[in-house]
Amino acid sequence: MKTKHVLLVLLFCIGFGVLLASTFFSKGDPVVPSEATEDTMKDLEESEFFKYIEGASYILGEENSGGSYNITLNVLVNSSFDNLERWDIIGMTSHFYEDYLQGDYVNCGNRDCFIREFVLTSPENEYKLVDEEEYTEFRSLLINGEDKYTFEEFKERNGKIADQEAARAAASEPTINGTRYSTIHTYMKVAYEELTNYGESYDPEYHDPLVAKLAADEFGITKAEAGRIYEKIEMEALK
């Protein structure tokens, strides 16, 4: 009888110990801040779309295998945000997410939380940045869960625009003796750098006529024309 009593007491102590240990070591549910933290708001102040922001908060997501949680940063923007070009929106949101938010840590009480999604909500629309892979090329913007704009398409579009602008600039650029002014300027710039050790030994009375003569001989123009072209482009760069 005494043995049975001792056994019951022992089992009770073991059970109570297990319960106490589980209570002590349990982390409990995450406590998500009701508003964006000061660090997150400082990041948002650096964004290109900060002037449209009216507030920001977190939305709790799924629990990871290690016990941490994914959260969504939900940013409220005003209706003026909807007037931006869709391609501009994916560019600025993707760059901001990559530079400031991706994997950002947020303290959720006794749990760790990490920003994994980024949503901007206006009175009329929802803009959700989807990071399908770790690589920027797979990032896309979903508008109201339907219209999809990918970052890869954004880069291709910007590349074509840059090429078109460069072609227009080249077509309108003045030339002399069949050579563009920028080509002559670049040639002279390199000559100055090489002859003066990047300006350290620059002597205008010696180097200016020397570089002008080199350009004149190279492009079949006069020294005065070479000097005038170089000075013109240098002055335009200062504007």
For residues 47-63, one letter each, b for 16 or more C-beta atoms within 10 angstroms of the residue's C-beta and e for the rest, the string is bebeebbeebbbebbee
For residues 177-206, one letter each, b for 16 or more C-beta atoms within 10 angstroms of the residue's C-beta and e for the rest, the string is eebebeebbebbeebbeebeeeeeeeeeee
pLDDT at 23: 36
How far apart CA 217 and CA 196 sit, in angstroms, is: 20
pLDDT at 38: 87
pLDDT at 28: 65
How far apart CA 234 and CA 239 sit, in angstroms, is: 9
All residues at 6 or more sequence positions from 3 whose CB lies less than 8 Å from its CB, including other chains: none
Residues of the chain with pLDDT under 50: 1, 6-13, 15-26, 135-136
How far apart CA 226 and CA 160 sit, in angstroms, is: 33
pLDDT at 135: 46
pLDDT at 138: 56
Q: Decide if 138 contacts 131 (C-beta within 8 A).
A: yes
pLDDT at 231: 95
Strand partners, 57: 74
Residue closest to 158 by CA, chosen among 76, 88, 95: 88
pTM (two decimals): 0.57
